[in-house]
Each structure stands twice: as structure tokens, then as C-alpha cells.
Amino acid sequence: MTTRPAASSSRATASTVPVSYEAALAELEQLVSQLDAGQLPLEQLLTHYQRGAELLAFCRARLDAVENQIKVLEGGELKPWDAA
């Protein structure tokens, strides 16, 4: 991923990798809330949308990695989750 010099603090965030799945999810929820409010200028809408896409890709990759680890632990089969 190529990083560009940040013009503002929100742009600095756009080039950083989340420290965890939970941090990425929290940031994504915040971005969605801001986008849903409909009060952002067009430039910020685009920046927030792009960051949201990056965070979504990060979260999906982490979930895929965990699923693959579970498959290894379960002998190649993903077994149904039984929370009880």
C-alpha cells in the first residue's frame, strides 16, 4: 500500500493499518455513522468511503485468517458453532 503525505489528521488515519480487528471495526462504525449523517463535504465523503473500503478489506482478511486457523485446528473441516 502506498502512503501519501497527510494534509490533515483524518488523512493521516487513512494511511495507517489498524492495530486489531476490533480497532478496525470501531473505526469503520464511526465512519459509517459520519457518512449516514450526510453532513460531510464531498471531498471528505470520498476520503471516508475509501478508508471504509480499506477497513472492510482488513476485517475480511482477518476473519478469513481466523477461519483458516479454525479449519486447521478442526482437521480441515469448519464445524458449526455451538455456543451452548
pLDDT tens for 33-51 read: 999 998 889 999 999 999 9
| Burial class of residue 60 in the structure, from the number of CB atoms within 10 Å of its CB (0-12 exposed, 13-18 middle, 19+ buried) | exposed
Taking the model in full, what pTM does it have? 0.68
Using an 8 Å Cβ cutoff, are 35 and 48 in contact?
yes
Task: Collapse the DSSP code of 59 into the 3-class scheme (helix H, G, I; strand E, B; otherwise coil) and give the result.
Answer: helix
Answer whether residue 55 shows pLDDT above 80: yes
21-30: b (≥16 Cβ within 10 Å) or e: eeebbebbee
